[in-house]
Amino acid sequence: MGRTIFVTNTNDFHHTDRYDGEDYEFPPGEKVAITEEAATHMFGRNLVDKSNALQRLGWAMKYDPATKNFEENLEGARNLARFVFTESMLVEALGRPSVEPEIA
């Protein structure tokens, strides 16, 4: 398992996704901890080309009833860009050790 990162959904809609058999919920404005691998799969994090993520989410194309054709969905790319990633840090908690030292 890779590093843990936080994802914040800054869209105005709730997003649900799935990675490696686990369901994830991304409510607007809340930080959700996921692995880097999950972020790459779900959102194309750290990839220059996000087309696979857009396509998987169903946000790559939209149907235009006027022309009866599919066209690029620019709003889908904007939705994807509204997922903000921050890195987590491992920090030791302050306090007493969990095991008492032996006194000789």
pLDDT, tens only, 62-86: 999 999 999 999 999 999 999 999 9
What pLDDT score does 51 carry? 94
Would you state the pLDDT for residue 90? 77
pLDDT at residue 55 is higher than 70:
yes
* Structural domain harbouring 40: 4-84
Per the domain annotation, does 93 fall within a domain?
no
| Domain-embedded: residue 104 | no
Q: Round to whole Å and give the CA distance between 100 and 96.
A: 9
Tell me: pLDDT of 19 over 70. Answer: yes
pLDDT: which is higher, 51 or 93? 51
Q: Is 72 left (phi over 0), alpha (psi -120 to 50) or beta?
A: beta
Report, as an integer, the average pLDDT of 2-23.
95
Q: Are 13 and 45 spatial neighbours (Cβ–Cβ below 8 Å)?
A: no
Tell whether 71 is covered by a domain: yes
Bridge partners of 5, per DSSP, are 34, 87
Number of domains observed in the structure of the chain: 1
In a domain, 33, yes or no: yes
104 pLDDT higher than 80: no
